[in-house]
Structure 1
Amino acid sequence: MTAHILVVDDDPVQRRLLKNAVERYGHAAHLAENGRIALEFLKRNPSQFNVIVLDLMMPELDGLGFLQAAGEMGIDTPVIVQTGQGGIDTVVQAMRAGAFDFVVKPVSPERIAASISNALKVDHREAKVRAVRGDRGTSVSFGDIVSASPEMLRVIDLAQRAAQSNIPVVLEGESGVGKEMIARAIQAGGERASKPFITVNCGAIPSNMVESVLFGHEKGAFSGATERHVGKFVEADGGTLFLDEIGDLPLDVQVKLLRAVQQGEIEIVGAGKTQKVDVRLVSATNKDLIEEVRAGRFREDLYYRLNVFPITIPALRRRKEDIPHLARVFTERFSGEQKLEHALHVGPGALALLTAYDWPGNIRQLENAIFRAVVLAEGPELTEKDFPQIAAQIPDFQSPELLATAAEPLNADDADESDAGFAEAYRQSRAESALAHPMFGGPENIIVSTDETGEVRKLADVEEELIRFALKFYRGQMSQVARKLGIGRSTLYRKLKDYGIDPDDPLKEAA
């Protein structure tokens, strides 16, 4: 079915690119050069458009003004906002105003297509968008993975390629990012889809039982009263064995695992014999395995046997575009599981709050927060009040004045006496923030060009500080950082490695 997409952008080049992207995926594109003209379209025929793609920075009527006016008109068409700034404050304002999704310029055709597809599912109330299944035993396909960010689209592309072979895969990423779901999708997308999928959390097994759990054990083999325990390798024979937290395996067990990987056979504990197994291995870790190798905690030969096809799943704070979609999906799922008379919806204020938060526990933490909110909700939609624990960690979120002020420098000369306290509090918060780190030359974020002796500093030192500043300023959005610095992402990653910069904590000095 052809969808009608309204593209609102004052840049003729951007309008043409978006038009081509929309039509490339079989939809009809309608163009408006600013928010005022777009509103005229909607007044004439409010139900004509299925999705609106909206630029935020435009003359006459900008994106936020358009969202406000459309809300007053009762227009509930999903709106995808484009921002060239990438700052979370701008995104939060847009989500508060009712935006469905956001993309950061320049946006690829694949990214805008994914966002439009997600919006159409909501618009048409078609097949439910799917998330992590409550029953971990069910089959999960790549279509079940909620993905809107370029980073996750890349992960899915790599995983789909890995699914077409039996190549050993290592899934890297923080706890809660969805490594098991990717592993299940790899299994479901390959020739072993109908075979067993067995999971083992290597970090949750007592060290003296790991070998028995993995390879099985046999008692009384020479007395005639044999008692045998089948190990996970035998259970997974013909299918896939998912070894979660592989970095926690004891060294002595790593030796036997290496043999299983190399020769396709295991040695059953107490049996004095080996057994052939046909198992596809997918491993996962939240540790840096190469650092574990250097520290002597992980065998180098096993590392190179397992780490043939590494896939790094980014933390949720690095793919905030996925948060609104995940929040809607979890809300819909838990509404059904709680057998609510009417499915709950996520209000714009709640979406803005959830998007602003960095989610150290990643998707698992977001899922649990939504579950709690759905159970305790009293109204027809989730609001900021349903997430008190999240709001408490973003104390300034509830203040629209602060968000508005954050968009432009505070001029203390323009503040009257009644605003003096607020102005001082805001200035103090900036002075205490990470952006006021001494390496940036104090609260004005100036990178100094001379050293203590008055000599011009080395170019490499200045470059390192600028990269650190950009990472903090753009909140770790690697594409945005690379674009603003005028370098490619591969170059940026190389420089991070050269300077020993941790993208999650750019102000932390290298050890």
Structure 2
Amino acid sequence: MYKVLIVDDDPVQCRLASEVVERAGFTPFVANSGTQAMTLLQETPGIGAVLLDLVMPEMDGMAVLEAMKRQGHAIPVIVMTAQSSLDTVVSAMRLGATDFFVKPVSPERITVSLRNAMKLGTLETSLAAERARRSGTFSFSHIISKSPAMARALVLGKKAAASTIPVLIEGESGVGKELLARAIQGSGDKSGKPFITVNCGAIPANLVESTLFGHVKGAFTGAIADAPGKFREAHNGTLFLDEVGELPPETQVKLLRALQDGEIEPVGAAKPVRVNVRVISATNRRLLNLARDGLFREDLYYRLNVFPIYVPPLRERMEDVPALVETFIARFAAEEGRRVSSISRDALDLLMTHDWPGNIRQLENAIFRAVVLAETPVLQPADFPQILGLRRGADEARLPGPSLFTPAEPIHIDDAPALPRLPDPEPIVIPDRFLDPTGNLLPLAEIERDLIVFAIEHNAGRMAQVARQLGIGRSTLYRKLKEYGLENDVA
């Protein structure tokens, strides 16, 4: 739940504003002076908005706005004052105020302004995180988490960011392993450098080696040009190997060499290529269990598992759900043009009681669906029929039950079975038009005969066009037709 800081030297105004803030579903904090307000901003995390009176003794509202701007507090500020001067409004807005109203003001006006300010602040935070993600400067401050269960993962991530040690991130699907990897990169020496993501489980087995290490022109059928591969794309940056446990055994050998020697060998290349890449890997299954079962090389496991970080599932850090919900609501409402601003207490309680087998990704999709279908600005329990169906029974759900894309119950990574490895597909053999079945070259006359037959069929028997495309005269064409016994076929 968001916190609102009320700054006013009038006790009556503070009490009235506190009641309005509580009725709006927020937690009020009161400061009777500008100095006390700055102290609370420093000591109280999670303040989402400020209701600020301009006229106060000693440090007035304008001085508070200047101090907040100077100290980098990017918190929406709603200014309250008895003065309606245009100069005052302009000055406050220039210092960062997001709204302005003259006392007395109705409770409804304060509530609407607060919700708009919260939404704006959340959306700005989300946009800042997206910009940082795209620029390679995503840091731990952009990760939304207040849970003690997540604190250890963040501490380990910050330590990993200070070095180039290989990192293995373990956790269930949808817990945010890639975000943690981006934060490690964005907080270290490789900030702003390439961050290349490879989902090892989504690449066909016969293309994994070429995708990772690249290939040269002509290395195999279809290799019509050189391809650098993901390692060279990530040169001087970070390569994130997601679902690394799904790599085929033959690729694991080459990956081990690349990690040990800093060299890769593109498919078909005559010599290796040196690369400077930091590898961060992730898996939703315990690599130790896969190595024990013979599905993953032990030497590669020990090479990757130098600095393991375990990301707990969402059900073990439910304290993060309210902040995540607010962020998703602001983002999807802006993207879809929906007038959804918050979630009701009953709906939030409903989400807090769910196990979330698909973790944050499932929560994100649930909020997306609710924002699109919501009939009111505040999300209600009825906007989550799938969750209601699990809690109260399928009869009360308006739509079908849980999505088939997530398991019905949570599965811990220690108990997650290995995915079955599909056999490599049989290569498609395309016969060469210049070779006979034994692999020897065909006679020139036979190749020429087949070419003439093809040209005649391709041009529907138009002999002038056939001769022109073959680059010979019509008399020469008819002579060759007679020579190869084709004149009767043409006639």
What TM-score bracket applies, with the shorter chain setting the length? 0.5 to 0.7
Q: Secondary structure at the match of 1:46?
A: helix
Question: Does the CA contact (< 8 Å) of 1:172 and 1:284 recur in 2?
Answer: yes
Question: Does the CA contact (< 8 Å) of 2:5 and 2:49 recur in 1?
Answer: no
Question: Does the CA contact (< 8 Å) of 2:264 and 2:274 recur in 1?
Answer: yes
Question: Does the CA contact (< 8 Å) of 1:170 and 1:310 recur in 2?
Answer: yes
Q: Secondary structure at the match of 2:370?
A: helix
Deviation for aligned residue 1:352: 0.6
Q: Which residue of 1 aligns with 2:341?
A: 344
- Select the residue among 16, 24, 46 that pairs with 1:118: 46
Question: Does the CA contact (< 8 Å) of 2:336 and 2:372 recur in 1?
Answer: yes
**CA distance 1:325–1:79, shift in 2 (3 Å):** farther
Instruction: Tell me, yes or no, if structure 1 residue 194 matches structure 2 residue 122.
Output: no
Deviation for aligned residue 1:157: 1.5
Q: Secondary structure at the match of 1:394?
A: helix
Percentage of pairs with the same residue: 50
Q: Which residue of 2 aligns with 1:46?
A: 15
Q: Which amino acid aligns with 1:395?
A: R
- Select the residue among 118, 122, 125 that pairs with 1:128: 122
Question: Does the CA contact (< 8 Å) of 1:131 and 1:146 recur in 2?
Answer: no
> How far does the alpha carbon of each residue in 1:388-442 deviate from its partner, in whole angstroms, 9 at most, with x for none?
111111117999xxxxxxxxxxxxxxxxxxxxxxxxxxxxxxxxxxxxxxxxxxx
2:43 and 2:304 mapped to 1: Cα distance? 35
Question: Does the CA contact (< 8 Å) of 1:173 and 1:286 recur in 2?
Answer: yes
Instruction: Tell me, yes or no, if structure 1 residue 364 matches structure 2 residue 361.
Output: yes
Question: Does the CA contact (< 8 Å) of 2:285 and 2:414 recur in 1?
Answer: no
For this pair of structures, how many residues does the alignment match? Answer: 315
Task: Indicate the structure (1 or 2) with the bigger Cα radius of gyration.
Answer: 2
Deviation for aligned residue 1:226: 7.4
Mapping 1:171-320, distance limit 5 Å: 171-220=169-218, 227-320=225-318
Deviation for aligned residue 1:43: 8.2
Deviation for aligned residue 1:118: 2.4
Please tell me the root mean square deviation across aligned C-alpha atoms, in Å: 3.8
Q: Secondary structure at the match of 1:128?
A: helix
**CA distance 1:226–1:364, shift in 2 (3 Å):** closer
Deviation for aligned residue 1:218: 1.1
Q: Which residue of 2 aligns with 1:395?
A: 392
**CA distance 1:246–1:372, shift in 2 (3 Å):** same
2:182 and 2:363 mapped to 1: Cα distance? 20
Q: Secondary structure at the match of 1:370?
A: helix
Q: Which amino acid aligns with 1:388?
A: P
**CA distance 1:306–1:504, shift in 2 (3 Å):** closer
1:134 and 1:72 mapped to 2: Cα distance? 30
Larger displacement relative to structure 2 (182-191 or 115-124): 115-124
Q: Which residue of 1 aligns with 2:370?
A: 373
**CA distance 1:503–1:258, shift in 2 (3 Å):** closer
Question: Does the CA contact (< 8 Å) of 1:335 and 1:344 recur in 2?
Answer: yes
Q: Secondary structure at the match of 2:276?
A: coil
Deviation for aligned residue 1:131: 5.2
Q: Secondary structure at the match of 1:268?
A: coil
- Select the residue among 149, 157, 164 that pairs with 1:166: 164
Q: Secondary structure at the match of 2:241?
A: strand
1:73 and 1:330 mapped to 2: Cα distance? 23
Q: Secondary structure at the match of 1:364?
A: helix
Q: Secondary structure at the match of 2:211?
A: helix
Question: Does the CA contact (< 8 Å) of 2:135 and 2:192 recur in 1?
Answer: no
Deviation for aligned residue 1:362: 0.2
> How far does the alpha carbon of each residue in 1:190-238 deviate from its partner, in whole angstroms, 9 at most, with x for none?
111121000000000011110000000113379xx97311100000000
> How far does the alpha carbon of each residue in 1:102-150 deviate from its partner, in whole angstroms, 9 at most, with x for none?
xxxxxxxxxxx99952244598536437459678745422111101101
TM-score, normalisation: structure 1: 0.55
Q: Secondary structure at the match of 1:321?
A: helix
Q: Which residue of 2 aligns with 1:149?
A: 147
**CA distance 1:271–1:73, shift in 2 (3 Å):** closer
Deviation for aligned residue 1:165: 1.0
Question: What are structure 1's unaligned runs of at least 5 residues?
Answer: 7-26, 28-41, 50-69, 81-112, 400-475, 477-501, 506-511
1:244 and 1:75 mapped to 2: Cα distance? 42
Q: Which amino acid aligns with 2:346?
A: G
TM-score, normalisation: structure 2: 0.57
